[in-house]
Structure 1
Amino acid sequence: MSTAPVRSETTIADFWGDPRCPWAWITSRWMLEVEQVRPLETRFHVMSLSVLNEGREVPEKYRQGMTDGWACVRVCVAAQQQHGSEVLRPLYNAMGRLIHHEKAGLGHDMIRAALEEAGLPADLVEAAENTSWDEKLRAEHHEGMDPVGSDVGAPVIHVPGPDGEPLAFFGPVLTPAPRGEAAGKLWDGVLAVAGTDGFFELKRGRDRDPIFD
């Protein structure tokens, strides 16, 4: 049984993730689980690992992903701009399932399938190679990432702080996603540390690959 204070009002959590990031995908599954046991509403936003890693040296095995990864986030931003931010949740869910569970890749076939699953117009796939969306993409990316600094990755979460000011933090990075009350207890702990003035980091080395269950 959780000993965290009971919150009667719904907490709005703004979640920034790149659909192709497996760690962000797992965290998003955890947050949807938390919604079932805590008064939480998750709002989805777009960040881009390709934007984040521009100009950085990345391992060879990730370089193609940096190039291919532009397509899906451009489409996400185009969908957001044309149909409202609420479409990002079903679109992220569809892309994440196809990428991480169905191993559908990052190409146009995956994007078309995700758009269909999310109930969005098929012609949004044209945004995949359209660099005119990059300005909006960068703005959306930086809105989420700038408050936590440049030395973190995905996911990033913003929540209201105790004083009304927003709290922004990277993570949590975890696998597999906790379920039920275990998910809720972790959320309580995350809010506790994120709301502690002067708290910056809690970390240990990863000893397993992402587990999608």
Structure 2
Amino acid sequence: MSIAPSTTGLTPVDIWVDPRCPWAWITSRWLLEAEQVRALNARFHIMSLSVLNEGREVPEQYRQGMIDGWACVRVCVAARQRLGDDAVRPLYLAMGRLIHHEKAGLGDAMIRDALTEAGLPADLIAAADDTAWDAPLRAEHHAGMDPVGSEVGTPVIHVPGPDGRRLAFFGPVLTPAPRGEEAGRLWDAVLAAANVDGFFELKRGRDRGPQFE
């Protein structure tokens, strides 16, 4: 899978997300805030937690999500293939709002509402149950995930480094999303860390769940 070059003069920041992941949703909200105060262009790509966790033991409460989670990512990939890269961002943002704020679930009703909200053709819903979309989904998933390894989830971010290398990293995981200049300062710090060759991890235990507001 190729990633289109930026044509806006802004730094292209490519983020891989699964619409059902609450942590990726919060990170995406932060990135959109950072976009307002830094010269960034956030470009959305799809990974799949269902693909990532294939063959792994997962807790019982997550198993149904592994099954139900295929539909929305197939539709996102179908939207890109049919309508181009610009279709993914509004569709992901609509799905994220419905899933995480409206508690609309992962089913067809949510997907139909998301397509309407994003202004995309309603017949894209047909991709939800069509396994023919799994091959391009896996290709998009691996384009984002392979550079950071198999031991991380979503979000994953890729950004050009100063020497032309593509910097790829998992995270940041945060809650709630910083706003305004605070979002910009966090972006500066994340980018500075990512540019250090050999820097791999900075982490502390989470003491709260996702906060969407």
Looking at structure 1, the residues matched to 12 and 78 of structure 2 have their Cα atoms a distance apart, in angstroms, of 23
Structure 2 residue runs without a partner (length 5+): 1-8
Aligned to 1:211: 211
Deviations 1:18-66 (A, max 9, x none): 0000000000000000011000100000000000000000000000000
Aligned to 1:182: 182
Q: CA deviation at 1:118?
A: 0.6
Aligned partner of residue 89 in structure 1, secondary structure: helix
Aligned partner of residue 206 in structure 2, secondary structure: coil
Looking at structure 2, the residues matched to 176 and 120 of structure 1 have their Cα atoms a distance apart, in angstroms, of 29
Q: Does 2:91 align with 1:95?
A: no
Aligned to 2:132: 132
Aligned partner of residue 89 in structure 2, secondary structure: helix
Tell me which amino acid in the other structure corresponds to 2:29.
R
| TM-score between the two structures when normalised by the length of structure 1 | 0.95
Looking at structure 2, the residues matched to 143 and 86 of structure 1 have their Cα atoms a distance apart, in angstroms, of 18
Q: Does 2:23 align with 1:28?
A: no
Aligned partner of residue 35 in structure 1, secondary structure: helix
Q: CA deviation at 1:111?
A: 0.1
Q: Does 2:165 align with 1:165?
A: yes
Aligned to 1:75: 75
Looking at structure 1, the residues matched to 179 and 191 of structure 2 have their Cα atoms a distance apart, in angstroms, of 18
| TM-score between the two structures when normalised by the length of structure 2 | 0.95
Structure 1 residue runs without a partner (length 5+): 1-8
Looking at structure 1, the residues matched to 38 and 102 of structure 2 have their Cα atoms a distance apart, in angstroms, of 30
Aligned partner of residue 37 in structure 2, secondary structure: coil
Deviations 1:57-80 (A, max 9, x none): 000000000000000000000000
Aligned to 1:4: none
In the comparison of the two structures, how many residue pairs are matched?
Answer: 205
Looking at structure 1, the residues matched to 116 and 139 of structure 2 have their Cα atoms a distance apart, in angstroms, of 26
Aligned to 1:10: 10
| Structure 1 stretches of at least 4 aligned residues deviating more than 6 Å after TM superposition | none
Q: CA deviation at 1:11?
A: 1.1
Aligned to 2:5: none
Tell me which amino acid in the other structure corresponds to 1:97.
R
Tell me which amino acid in the other structure corresponds to 1:93.
L
Looking at structure 2, the residues matched to 135 and 10 of structure 1 have their Cα atoms a distance apart, in angstroms, of 31
Tell me which amino acid in the other structure corresponds to 1:187.
W
- Between the aligned residues of both structures, percent identity stands at 77
Q: CA deviation at 1:166?
A: 0.3
RMSD: 0.6
Aligned to 1:49: 49
Aligned to 1:3: none
Looking at structure 2, the residues matched to 77 and 36 of structure 1 have their Cα atoms a distance apart, in angstroms, of 27
Q: CA deviation at 1:162?
A: 1.6
Q: CA deviation at 1:88?
A: 0.4
Q: Does 2:207 align with 1:197?
A: no
Q: CA deviation at 1:146?
A: 0.2
Q: Does 2:106 align with 1:106?
A: yes
